[in-house]
A and B are shown apart, each in its own frame.
Chain A
Amino acid sequence: MAGSDQVNLIESKTVVPLNTWVLISNFKLAYNLLRRPDGTFNRHLAEFLDRKVPANANPVNGVFSFDVIMDRQTNLLSRVYRPAYAGDPPSFTDLQKPVDGEVAPVIVFFHGGSFVHSSANSAIYDTLCRRLVGLCGSVVVSVNYRRAPENRYPCAYDDGWTALNWVNSRSWLKSKKDSKVHIFLAGDSSGGNIAHNVAVRAVESGIDVLGNILLNPMFGGTERTESETRLDGKYFVTVRDRDWYWRAFLPEGEDREHPACSPFGPRSKSLEGLSFPKSLVVVAGLDLIQDWQLKYADGLKKAGQEVKLLYLEQATIGFYLLPNNNHFHTVMEEIAAFVNAECQ
């Protein structure tokens, strides 16, 4: 095994900058320490190791943030990021000043972590959300949803739904043009999966979502796809760890045919005829679950939904965490264009 492992390691090192490699390898190692074979998770150590940052109402690079409690019963927190106001930093009472502009997009963001890791105040996601604000000129609301294995399906989706309703009902987030909140759903990895499922629920309940942005969304299924076999263990991720996370998230006894895992699988509801939001789906060419992601984009198309697929051949997972590669900039531009299309 050692021989092929060595090839694997060197391979992943050649496709990303060294500091990216160190960052993601560090996560990989830490996550290995945290997942137990019996399906339990070392949450204390996870929280200890996770680098977190506080909210900051003083603008940094034109963005400020503050935390809100959306639901006291589930302790659902979210972090709101806003473009800085002209003039003085916001005072305590100004944090929820009405948004500027005829059309003011609001992005509801779900961080990744395979349903188990990270939080809204994790440094990697705080940084990403701040970038999104600068990029799209929009408010970003990053949801601190409940995580597995302590909270299985459907908790994360429920929290996403709560967040969507919260955002939709804030008077200070309404665009002047039509006195409605212009909402986009976004997420990476498990966050992408959550965004999809919240969008489905939104459509069924009549809440308008203008677009979905899915970065390396986490989907799966029972069969082993070609990409999973080919890329297993080669670029930071293994099939085995994917299985572990699905077992942690899905209800006990369920398999990966479950619609949460496989939205276009045999057990899922059809999206045909629904006014599902347009989607931007970003797939990394070195992500082993890409076949599932491509199947997802395909499924949307077949159901008559608008989808733009961005396939980045040489990208690995986490490429969007550091601005040191071309894919990062490509994707950021696409996201900006996707969101600002509404503002035309």
Chain B
Amino acid sequence: MKREHSHRETSAVKTGSSSMTANKEEAGGFDELLVVLGYKVRSSDMADVANKLEQLEMVLDDGISHLSDDTVHYNPSDLSGWVDTLLSDLNPTCDQVKPDQDSEYELSAIPGSAAYPRGKRTRTGSDSPTTTRSMVVLDSQETGVRLVHALLACAEAVQQNNLKLADVLVKHVGLLASSQAGAMRKVATYFAEGLARRIYRIYPRDDVGLSSFSDTLQIHFYESCPYLKFAHFTANQAILEAFATAEKVHVIDLGLNQGLQWPALIQALALRPGGPPDFRLTGIGSSLTGQSVQEVGWKLGQLANVVGVNFEFKSIVLNSLSDLKPEMLEIRTGSESVAVNSVFELHRLLAHPGSIDNILLTIKSIKPDIITVVEQEANHNGAVFLDRFTESLHYYSSLFDSLEGPPSQDRVMSELYLGRQILNLVACEGEDRVERHETLVQWRNRFSMGGFKPVNIGSYAYKQASMLLALYAGADGYKVEENEGCLLLGWQTRPLIATSAWRFNRVE
């Protein structure tokens, strides 16, 4: 399908002079000028895309806004694909069931034909790296600036192993932090504690994140801010789309915790036009968790019963996700659609070399229809301590900033939940340092190289997520963004978490 020749079928160009490059090609064949503006169009496809745009213009006129209500759009950067979607929407060959317009605030399964975009899919290969060092500038109060300066200076001293200096600075930070208020104070305090622990080698308990206390904290985090809700919501949308026509579905949750993600999915499946599929959930838990994975499954089963969904549950308890073997999952090949779901789980495996490859191999071997991944949008896994420190300082500043508001137990516990992540990130090393967040770009690379193909999350999920945010989050500062088929949630302009979806072809 790809055209070999790169000759451009441009109509006579009056204005373009030969000295100005009209269509510069780059390594991937994409028009360089458009890439800068966020659009990936191969120079060899330019004329074709232009023709399609012309076609669309001829058929449509001003009053086409109704199309935007019915159409689900995917990856606007892939202009060719986007235009194809619109064109095929004008010639509907399949029955499209409209999503229930009334229940706009609930999850709805959308038709299977919209699940995978037609036309060309964007290559996710050579993206120019966007550093996540977008800065949040604090109020220009002097002590605030001095505080940050002191924190960074202390981190630098730690980096250089000048522990005497670091010791002096960390005390100074404590002093400055006490004069601050709000988010900055809390963030600075946690980072200072992390530094102190690192300096004095009083490391936080290494079961951070795995105890049942952590589960409890996560519930408060879920309640107090939209990040987890967004993660669950967007992942569920992708799963629903993939399961649109399946009769039997099997979801494998790589980190069940309290199972907060699944009631909504169960309800959405129950409401599916045509009736719910049989739903099977495999929940994976850690052997260090006090809470029984079985108990969570049992509660979900009760809910499923109430709404009339056939439910089956299996629990798997492991020391580490990399111990997961395909046989444990008991996939019923051929008769069930499989989804693998991971919310803030995969980055932990980066602490142990080889673990991530193990789990990806296991996932590949069961050939799931969809894999949903939610991760923190930040690079907190760089080789250099100071870089990790700086990145995470900005990241958690934004996060804490978004939590500001009237005090509540949920909020206090959420701050503690995040604080423990900070401590792990700053004070721990080696296998103990599990908060090894990486960016969407990094995860994309890893998945692409592993042979996974991206599945675009579309405008329907985007719209629903935005509306949910407006309803539940209240504050104006949260923003949902689309990036080449993935959705990101951020505070002000800083993206903080990213949801992506993948598949591994059965026929490969």
Contact = CB atoms under 8 A, between A and B. Distances in A.
A and B assemble together: yes
Interface of A: 2, 5-6, 9-10, 13-19, 21-23, 25-26, 28-29, 32-37, 42, 44-45, 47-58, 66-69, 75, 77, 79, 91-93, 95-96, 121, 123-124, 127, 238, 240-241, 314-315, 321-327, 329
Nearest to B22: A17
B15 A17 contact: yes
A8 B200 CA distance: 74
B37 A124 contact: yes
20 contacts: A13-B50, A14-B13, A14-B14, A15-B15, A17-B22, A19-B33, A19-B41, A23-B37, A32-B60, A35-B62, A35-B65, A44-B466, A47-B462, A49-B76, A92-B393, A238-B62, A324-B22, A324-B33, A326-B17, A327-B15
Given A45-B73, A56-B130, A67 B62 contact: no
B65 A42 contact: yes
Interface stretch (B314-322, B343-351, B417-425, B476-484): B476-484
A232 B59 CA distance: 18
A51 B65 contact: no
A205 B133 CA distance: 38
Contacts of A22: 34, 41, 46, 49-50, 53, 79
B4 interface: no
Contact of B15 (A42, A121, A124, A325): A325
A36 B20 CA distance: 39
Contacts of B77: 51
A192 B330 CA distance: 64
Contacts of B9: 18
Nearest to A327: B15
Given A33-B64, A79-B493, 16 more contacts: A9-B57, A18-B13, A22-B34, A23-B34, A29-B56, A44-B467, A48-B76, A67-B134, A92-B135, A92-B394, A123-B37, A123-B38, A314-B14, A322-B37, A324-B20, A324-B23
Nearest to A10: B11
Contacts of B493: 54-55, 67, 77, 79, 121
Interface string B5-43: 000111111111100111100000001011011110100
Contact of B492 (A36, A57, A69): A69
Interface of B: 8-17, 20-23, 31, 33-34, 36-39, 41, 46-47, 49-50, 53-54, 56-58, 60-65, 67-69, 73, 76-77, 79, 83, 86, 130-137, 140, 145, 148-149, 152, 390, 393-394, 459, 462-463, 466-467, 476-477, 480-482, 492-495
Contacts of B152: 91-93
A19 B69 CA distance: 28
Nearest to A15: B14
Given A58-B131, A68-B137, A26 B65 contact: no
A130 to B, nearest CB: 10
A45 B463 contact: yes
A36 B130 contact: no
A244 to B, nearest CB: 8
Contact of B11 (A13, A55, A58, A93): A13
A26 B148 contact: no
Contacts of B132: 54
Contact of B22 (A18, A42, A50): A18
B148 A92 contact: yes
Contact of B62 (A25, A55, A77, A241): A241
Contact of B33 (A10, A75, A323): A323
Contact of A326 (B15, B140, B495): B15
A66 B493 CA distance: 10
B403 to A, nearest CB: 15
Contact of A26 (B11, B13, B16, B79): B79
Nearest to A65: B134
